[in-house]
Amino acid sequence: MRVLIVGAGVGGLTAALSLHAAGIEALVVEASASLRPLGVGINLLPHATRELTELGLGDAMTSTAIATAEMVHFDRHGGRIWGEPRGLALGYDWPQYSIHRGELQMILLDAVLDRLGPGSVRTASVLEGFEQDADGVRAHVLDRIAGTGAEIHADVLVGADGLHSSVRAQLHPGEPGPLWNGIRMWRGVAEGEPFLTGRTMAVAGSNAAAKLVVYPISIRRPLINWVAEIRTDDGMGPHRPADWNRGGRLEDVLPYYADWRFPWLDVPALLARTPRVLEYPMVDRDPLPFWTRGRVTLLGDAAHPMYPIGSNGGSQAVLDARVLAHELARCGDPGAGLAAYERARRETVNAIVLACRDMPADRVLQTVAERAPDGFDRIEDVLTAEELESIGSAYQRTSFSDAKALNTRPSLSVAG
Ligand SMILES: Cc1cc2nc3c(=O)[nH]c(=O)nc-3n(C[C@H](O)[C@H](O)[C@H](O)COP(=O)(O)OP(=O)(O)OC[C@H]3O[C@@H](n4cnc5c(N)ncnc54)[C@H](O)[C@@H]3O)c2cc1C
């Protein structure tokens, strides 16, 4: 079986590694002229780090990523609202990792080129369309540099081509563009010593107004990732197509955080020393009624773009990739394998997309801002025990599998 994967992001590259490990041939086409370590920080939950570890990438991850120890919410004055352990500290056998997205992509790319060969990832190659029949798929791919088109034949086509997926567009013609929820996100990485435990992911404020998510992403260098989420009604977000690599302006975001100075972090100083600020609207798409038609399917953000809440985007793409390879190898037939993959994944991930929209944790954080706009001494005077507890259960719904269930579940690895 030969699988053509469209897109060399986290999902596409993990799919290539997983298919190869399962004894299935894979080729990746990527629109970018070259693969560079783009993006800023990203988080992988234990169910995803298990899969990358089983793909033999555990040491590469451990040598750079931060094994996140806790997640803590504060109000915009730095008062501690709620905190909970993460990863190993929650009883998982695998850590939660905070890592630079580009670095993660390069770890995956190096492994793909090493294991599948130097010709296994074709850059500057844009999928323009496909046809399929009972015998296979014909993909039309444009070479952006030569300006020429080519036809690639495969048994299976996997659209791992992200938010603006052209495979999705062909499977679901007429679907509207990404849906914006009114929040703009500025993101960046700046030098800065890790704070609190040194492995803390901190969230301050609430995205009903201004929120900041901040965490270290490297054990090799003192690098802090930050995401500033601002609800705006200036109408600018949806008019600019969502592009993960779009530059943003520090002066647009800094004023919201001018007095956010906590004992453990000077927020305006962190933002001000960020070499490159990026801007992205918080968008997703409605859950799909199907991902697969015959020999063609979707994976990762192409199948289920979601708000970046609870560390799900990259983690779910990794899980998709592993289940896809597992089912194709188990069934031995393209149609049956893809149908089994979709059965295993679509409803589960669609539910996460919807749960991320609901943002119950943010409603509680907003309640804190309303009841104690100038800060508080004791959170127990502001929130009931039930309200506090609801923050943890909100993450439980969007982000976590049961630790024992994950620790004891059989591996998705297939002997190749
Ligand atoms: C440049 C970039 C930077 C990002 N930065 C961050 C970040 O800082 N933090 C974060 O949480 N998430 C970031 N993301 C998103 C994050 O990587 C995804 O949410 C998650 O990892 C799932 O990845 P994916 O492989 O499904 O999609 P993506 O990571 O979006 O990868 C899709 C790939 O498909 C390629 N592609 C698209 N159309 C075609 C086509 N027609 N033909 C061939 N190739 C095509 C794209 O160039 C891209 O490489 C970024 C994505 C990108 C592309």
The answer, yes or no, to whether residue 235 has pLDDT greater than 90, is no
Query: What average pLDDT does this structure show over 65-78?
Result: 95
Q: Which residue has the higher pLDDT, 236 or 345?
A: 345
Mean pLDDT of 227-255: 83
Among 161, 296, 306, the mutation site with the greatest number of ligand 1 atoms within 8 A of its Cβ is: 161
The finding on whether 285 has its CB within 6 A of some atom of ligand 1 is no
pLDDT for 299 beyond 80: yes
- Domains within the chain, CATH numbers bracketed: 2-37+101-177+287-357 (3.50.50.60)
Q: What is the mean pLDDT of the segment spanning 172-179?
A: 94
Pocket test for ligand 1, best of 32, 35, 42 (most atoms within 8 A of CB): 42
Q: Is the CB of 160 under 6 A from ligand 1?
A: yes
Q: Is 11 in the pocket of ligand 1 (CB under 6 A)?
A: yes
Instruction: Provide the percentage of residues in the chain whose pLDDT is more than 90.
Output: 84
pLDDT at residue 359 tops 80: no
Question: Counting atoms of ligand 1 from 1, which one is nearest the CA of 303?
Answer: 26
47-67: average pLDDT:
97
Given a cut of 50, is residue 416 above it in pLDDT?
no
- Whether the CB of 301 sits within 6 Å of ligand 1: yes
- pLDDT tens per residue, range 82-103: 999 999 999 999 999 999 999 9
Decide: 313 in ligand 1 pocket, CB within 6 A.
yes
**pLDDT mean over 402-408:** 92
Residue 207: the pLDDT is: 79
What value does the mean pLDDT take over residues 146-170?
A: 97
Average pLDDT over residues 288-310: 96
At residue 126, the pLDDT reads 98
Neighbours of 263 (CB within 10 A): 8
Report the percentage of the chain scoring pLDDT > 70.
98
Q: Is 162 in the pocket of ligand 1 (CB under 6 A)?
A: yes
Q: Is 29 in the pocket of ligand 1 (CB under 6 A)?
A: yes
Confidence of residue 236 (pLDDT cuts 50, 70, 90): low
pLDDT number for residue 233: 66
Per-residue pLDDT averaged across 175-204, rounded? 94
- The answer, yes or no, to whether any atom of ligand 1 lies below 6 A from the CB of 279, is no
Query: Which residue's C-alpha comes closest to atom 31 of ligand 1?
Result: 9
Please work out whether the CB of residue 40 comes within 6 Å of at least one atom of ligand 1.
yes
pLDDT tens string 179-188: 998 899 999 9
> pTM of the prediction?
0.96
Q: How far is the CA of 9 from the centre of ligand 1 (A)?
A: 5
Indicate the range of 17-26, 116-125, 287-296, 353-362 predicted with least confidence: 353-362
Nearest CA to ligand 1 atom 9: 42
Q: Looking at 94-98, 262-266, 360-364, which range is the least confident one?
A: 360-364
Mean pLDDT for 349-365 is 88
**Cβ of 265 below 6 Å from ligand 1:** no
Decide if pLDDT at 122 tops 50. Answer: yes
309 lines ligand 1 (CB under 6 A): no
CA of 301 to the centre of ligand 1 (A): 7
Pocket lining: 38 vs ligand 1, CB cutoff 6 Å:
yes
Share the mean pLDDT of the chain: 94
Average pLDDT over residues 114-129: 98
Alpha carbon of 302 to ligand 1 centroid (Å): 9
Which atom of ligand 1 has the smallest separation from the CA of 166? 41
Is 365 close to ligand 1, i.e. is its CB under 6 Å away? no
Q: Which residue has the higher pLDDT, 183 or 15?
A: 15
